Amino acid sequence: MNREQIISQIKLKRSFLCIGLDTDINKIPKHLLSAEDPVFEFNKQIIDATNDLCVAYKPNIAFYESMGLSGWNSLQKTLDYIPKDILTIADAKRGDIGNTSKMYARAFFENMNFDSVTIAPYMGLDSVSPFLEFKNKWAILLALTSNKSSSDFQKIEAKNGEKLFEKVIKTSKNWGSEKNMMYVIGATRSKQLSEVRKIIPHHFLLVPGIGIQGGNLEDVAKYGMNKDCGLLVNSSRGVIYSGDGFNFAEASRKAAKQLQNKMDILLSERGI
């Protein structure tokens, strides 16, 4: 999926919502456990209930990997079930030396046919470049993450006062372009989005951390939105676990709809 298609979907759906499929078999409604593939059945119902409200789905690979072969199977079925006009993000945070990153790129872009994958930048250019060689695929680099410990290293200041996450963005932004790279910037750090926008005004940002983790949607739009929107704001637990029992999918639709309504207003305010 290319940049123009993503922007077009945002305008069409009046939404820049990404729904995180952090599907945990211990958290899904009990009545699904008798299904042949409970994890896929849960995802299927979430996708059916929300696909007109979001522009991206982001399966969190750890949740599937933790279940072994059956988890990978549920993931593939989920990926195949997502409508083709919706961006798919493998939240995998991979990254290794060149010949190994090439294998990860194949795993997610060829074997599984994801549109994009999240990448940890610690190992530098040759760990990222293999992900940039696929047409209409995206490398999404971790810059400033939403977790409490993100400050341990990401905010270390270099001699020139530059923080590590800024250095990561400045160094990497020309490895690819705004047509095949995005960055993860946590919503819990929303004020720093304006700093980020000075470095990369045009790139899309994947913004986790609204909802459970405490980030605020209005702030994210205020500091991070550009003329093409340029944002994919993720909610995982806040949407998929908003209800329990037989009406869980309906409850997740309601949670997604609330976010999409706010997003519609935020887009309109900026003439998008």
Of positions 112, 193, 205, 267, contacts its own copies by CB under 8 A: 112
Measured CA angle at 1 (ends 198, 73), to 5 deg: 115
Residue 12, interface with its own copies (CB under 8 A)?
no
SS3 for 13-48 is: HCCCEEEEECCCCCCCCHHHHHCCCHHHHHHHHHHH
Name which of 60 and 260 has its Cβ closer to its own copies: 60
Query: What is the per-residue binding string for its own copies in 46-75, x denoting contact by CB under 8 A?
Result: --------------x-xx-xxxxx--xx--
* Cα–Cα distances in angstroms (integers) from residue 141 to residues 121, 206, 237, in the given order: 6, 9, 22
Q: Which of residues 115-174 bind its own copies (CB under 8 A)?
A: 120-127, 142, 145-154, 156-159, 164, 167-168, 171
Q: How many residues bind its own copies (CB under 8 A)?
A: 57
Name which of 93 and 197 has its Cβ closer to its own copies: 93
Least distance to its own copies, CB of residue 172, Å: 8
**Euclidean distance between CA atoms 271 and 196, whole angstroms:** 22
**155 among known catalytic residues:** no
Residue 26, interface with its own copies (CB under 8 A)?
no
Of the residues 13, 44, 58, 93, only one is catalytic, namely 93
Q: Using CB atoms within 10 A of its CB, is residue 108 exposed (0-12), middle (13-18) or buried (19+)?
A: buried
**Euclidean distance between CA atoms 71 and 256, whole angstroms:** 25
Half-sphere exposure of 223 (CA within 13 A, CB side): 19
Asked if residue 268 lies in contact with residue 21, where contact means CB atoms within 8 angstroms, the answer is: no
Asked if residue 91 lies in contact with residue 119, where contact means CB atoms within 8 angstroms, the answer is: no
Least distance to its own copies, CB of residue 204, Å: 20
Catalytic residues: 93
- Which residues are at the interface with its own copies (CB under 8 A)? 22, 24, 60, 62-63, 65-69, 72-73, 76, 91, 93-101, 103-104, 106-107, 110-112, 120-127, 142, 145-154, 156-159, 164, 167-168, 171
